[in-house]
Amino acid sequence: MDPLLSQPPPKKLPNQVVNPFKKVHAASGSTMGLQLGTFDLTTADFTPLVPFQVDYNNATSSIPLDSGMTGLDTANNKFWFSCTPHGDNTYEGVCSVPLTKSNEQPTVTTYAWSNTAYQMTSMDYSKALKGAIVLGQKIPTSPAGQKKQSNTQVLFVDESKPDNKEWEMLIDLGDSWLDLHQATISPCGRYYMLALGVGSNMDLPAQNLLTIDLVTKKIINTIHAKHTETEIVVLNAMACKPQ
């Protein structure tokens, strides 16, 4: 870890970024009203793009699974998020919706995952691969298993194959402690950065910081942090382009 240095004045921020979920009035207790839109970083104004209503009474409705697992396809103007596919809590999946300005409910495209032995712990969209990148970790099946590290895999959800429920495993990372939101993807969508808990101490693990080339499906950099969580916790690892 580099020492903290004084930074140059920040460049002008982009005018707008996608604000994934803004709650709006819901018609009933079984319906959640959400809004997809943009947030202006200079004025702090929210501009609605499309309504996004989730109907919990609809057995076929795919609903957001975790608000922290999202991605943005800027080339095709689509918003991606983790979801419970078609109302079935047995499975997990990822979904996408178009961000074209409209007053109508957008069509949700759902990519269900058939593997119920694993759970998603991070999700991003890859511009390079044209699909979602998912970090999956095996679910412990016993109290003893909860005290052990879980197999961890990087998976690819091909945007062109919405009916494919057998997601491709890009790389098996071995075992690490169960966690959430351990990964970040580079803006180009090729490099995947992860902070994985390792070592013998489940409560205060050491951390491996990995960089993966998603195109070649290889780990190109590994740093074993010299600290444990008694000193500092790496919440997320991300790409940083020198100025």
Domain count, the chain: 1
Q: Is 70 inside a domain boundary? A: yes
Residue 112 near residue 93, CB atoms below 8 Å: yes
What are the C-alpha distances in Å from 100 to residues 37, 47, 160, 236?
Answer: 10, 13, 20, 31
Q: Is 80 inside a domain boundary? A: yes
Q: Is 23 inside a domain boundary? A: yes
CA nearest 134: which of 223, 215, 237, 214? 214
Higher pLDDT, 38 or 22: 38
pLDDT at 42 over 70: yes
pTM over 0.85: no
Average pLDDT value for the chain: 83
Question: Which of the four pLDDT bands, split at 50, 70 and 90, describes residue 237?
Answer: confident
pLDDT tens readout for residues 3-37: 333 334 434 444 555 555 444 444 444 666 778 88
Residue 150 near residue 137, CB atoms below 8 Å: yes
pLDDT attached to residue 242 = 53
Domain that holds residue 88: 15-113
pLDDT attached to residue 204 = 82
Q: Is 27 inside a domain boundary? A: yes
Between CA 205 and CA 227 the distance in angstroms is 9
What are the C-alpha distances in Å from 151 to residues 27, 91, 100, 154?
Answer: 43, 19, 39, 10
Between CA 237 and CA 101 the distance in angstroms is 33
Between CA 97 and CA 79 the distance in angstroms is 5
Q: Is 202 inside a domain boundary? A: no
Q: Is 210 inside a domain boundary? A: no
pLDDT attached to residue 229 = 67
Higher pLDDT, 205 or 5: 205
And the tokens for 36?
Answer: 């997809």
Residue 38 near residue 14, CB atoms below 8 Å: no
What are the C-alpha distances in Å from 25 to residues 21, 31, 33, 52?
Answer: 13, 9, 6, 11
Q: Is 156 inside a domain boundary? A: no
DSSP states of 75-105 as a string?
TTTEEEEEEEGGG-TT-EEEEEEE----SSP
CA nearest 27: which of 49, 59, 50, 56? 56
pLDDT at 151 over 70: yes
Q: Is 69 inside a domain boundary? A: yes
Residue entry with tokens 């062109």 = 160
Average the pLDDT over each of 59-68, 87-96, 113-122, 176-185 and give the range with the smallest value.
59-68
In eight-state DSSP terms, residue 4 is P
Average the pLDDT over each of 31-40, 166-175, 181-190, 204-213 and give the range with the smallest value.
31-40
DSSP states of 176-199 as a string?
E---S--EEE-TTS-EEEEEEEES
